[in-house]
Amino acid sequence: MSERVSTGVPGLDDMLNGGLIPGRVYLVKGAPGTGKTTLAMHFAMAGVSRGENVLYVTLEEPADNIKQDFGKMGFDVYNSNFFLIDATPTTERYVLLEDIFETFAKNLEKLTDAILEKFGAIHFSRLVVDPITMLKMTSSTELDYRRAFLKFIKTMMRLKVTTLITSEMERTDVEEYLVSGVIELRTFEIKGVLERAVKITKFRGSGFDRVIRPFEITDRGMVVHPDKTLF
Ligand SMILES: Nc1ncnc2c1ncn2[C@@H]1O[C@H](COP(=O)(O)OP(=O)(O)OP(=O)(O)O)[C@@H](O)[C@H]1O
Ligand SMILES: [Mg+2]
């Protein structure tokens, strides 16, 4: 088997026949609170623990919150190989860090250029954009967005950076068509209890587990049960 990139989530690599294919772009989709950021942090930290440089662009959850919450879970958020860029549009930051908001969060093309510029100084093996949702809203037409998204993917593939983007949108057709793989996170109500589950809906160039598998989020993060089913 060719070399794979670990998602960092126990059990999830089994569903992906060993992990992600390096240098490609993947989408993690799911409703609010389903665990997208948690999965993305596992992915980021799996790189950091191997001594790789990881770039994480946060567009909705402030970087301080991420550090606080995931630091508590035991993630190495203060590691100097972890580059967390806060591109959230709070009023205060709008003033203080106007150029960060301008370059990373204005639209998908600007984000692509800003990432490319970052690679001029440092090579990152992994990239996270969490979430892509607002950038989509800044595009004037669907065609514009599709073009920008394709340019984003091509740029990341050229940079050979394994990329994970998240989206909370229900309709993610454009993204789903263009990315190399889709991981969907869901919650179900079973006998009055909220259960979490993960489904792989697309994985170019690889076989994958077609069974929807349950997972948990605990104070140590996410764990997928690749040998269990929902019922
Ligand atoms: N220690 C913990 N034990 C159990 N569940 C936890 C723990 N810490 C966080 N969670 C759960 O993890 C979920 C949050 O996951 P996460 O922030 O990754 O979701 P998300 O999909 O990124 O959400 P959003 O769309 O709001 O960004 C919440 O439902 C939260 O209750
Ligand atoms: Mg999130």
Instruction: Say if ligand 1 is within 6 A of residue 130 CB.
Output: no
pLDDT at 92 over 70: no
Report, at the CATH architecture level, how domain 23-184 is classified: 3-Layer(aba) Sandwich (3.40)
Instruction: Say if ligand 1 is within 6 A of residue 167 CB.
Output: no
Residue 135 is predicted with a pLDDT of: 87
Instruction: Say if ligand 1 is within 6 A of residue 30 CB.
Output: yes
Ion ligand 2: residues, CB < 5 A:
36-37
Instruction: Say if ligand 1 is within 6 A of residue 88 CB.
Output: no
Beta bridge partner(s), residue 224: 215
Residue 194 is predicted with a pLDDT of: 93
CA distance 108 to 1: 34
Each residue's pLDDT tens digit, 117-146: 999 999 999 999 999 988 888 888 989 999
The pLDDT of 84-106, averaged and rounded, is 67
- DSSP letter string over 116-162? HHHHHH---SEEEEE--HHHHHT-SSHHHHHHHHHHHHHHHHHTT-E
Each residue's pLDDT tens digit, 52-78: 999 999 999 999 999 999 999 999 999
Residue nearest (by alpha carbon) to ligand 1 atom 29: 33
Residue 102 is predicted with a pLDDT of: 64
In angstroms, what is the C-alpha Rg of the chain? 17
| The model's pTM | 0.95
> Would you give the end-to-end CA distance of the chain in angstroms?
32
Each residue's pLDDT tens digit, 8-54: 999 999 999 999 999 999 999 999 999 999 999 999 999 999 999 99
Choice between 73 and 90, residue whose per-residue pLDDT is larger: 73
The ligand 1 atom nearest the CA atom of 168: 25
- Nearest CA to 44 among 160, 132, 163, 157? 163
Domain range annotation of the chain: 23-184
The pLDDT of 196-214, averaged and rounded, is 98
pLDDT at 6 over 80: yes
